[in-house]
Copies of this chain bind each other. A is one copy, B any other.
Amino acid sequence: MSGTLFGVGLGPGDPELLTLKAHRLICRARVVAYPAPDTGESFARSIAAAFIPPDAEEIVVRVPMRTEPGPAQAAYDRAAVTIGNRLAGGMDVVALCEGDPFFYGSFIQLFERLSPRFPCEVVPGVSSLTACAAALSHPLTVRDDTLSVLPATLDDDALRRHLDAADGAAIVKLGRHLPRVRALIGAMGLTSGAGYVERASLPHGRAAPLAEAPATAPYFSMILVRRRERS
């Protein structure tokens, strides 16, 4: 009997935003896996730290942050071999995922490699989308609103087209794109309905009208835009 790969969403950062199910699976885990940068701490591990059993095996997936995808793909390939060995040996593996595993999650890399061969269950988590809306007191979607989720890596023309078409939008993966995106939103006359959030739900998080956003944004930041005035 193979073990099961659990992709467990941890929510946006506050450990109290773990689900009861994530909490149960982590507390009982014998093997956990999580992504980490080249050097330094894993954000996913830091969210779940208080609940990981001291004697659990920890598989650290060190993902190099490069513009070319090769090194990251190789890291996921190696991790899939290690995790696959545990699963083949009958052990369950709990993969820790910031936010929700299927919402821009690096877990998808493991899922694609391992789900064809092993049982896999995804435990959804609170996504950054709704966590940022809560932090800003900004309802995401009301009645028959449409919502577009847009990576800030899109060029201005594409962003403008999407922002024009939807009632509301969430612009994710801001980082170094913040000044450009903010200028675009200003040129479109949407600044007054826009909010900025970084590190939602964490003690050093920040939520403010876009006009008061800082000059530079961390990777974990988002802009929420409301295009249409609600009646």
Contacts and interface: CB of A to CB of B under 8 A. Distances in A.
Interface stretch (A30-38, A59-67, A161-169): A161-169
Given A140-B102, A148-B147, A151-B145, A19 B126 contact: yes
A172 to B, nearest CB: 9
A222 to B, nearest CB: 13
A162 B146 contact: yes
Interface stretch (A82-90, A128-136, A182-190, A208-216): A128-136
Interface string A17-45: 11111011000000000000000000000
A24 B16 contact: yes
Given A23-B20, A144-B151, A139 B102 contact: yes
A195 interface: no
A149 interface: yes
A141 interface: yes
Interface in A112-126: 115, 120, 122-126
A11 to B, nearest CB: 7
Nearest to A21: B16
Given A130-B125, A134-B124, A154-B146, A140 B16 contact: no
Interface of A: 9, 11-12, 14-21, 23-24, 100-105, 108, 111, 115, 120, 122-127, 129-131, 133-134, 137-151, 153-154, 161-162, 165-166, 173, 201
Given A17-B19, A17-B21, 9 more contacts: A15-B20, A16-B20, A16-B21, A104-B142, A104-B143, A104-B145, A124-B130, A126-B126, A129-B129
The 3 residue pairs across chains A and B that have the minimum distance between CB atoms: A122-B134, A16-B21, A100-B130
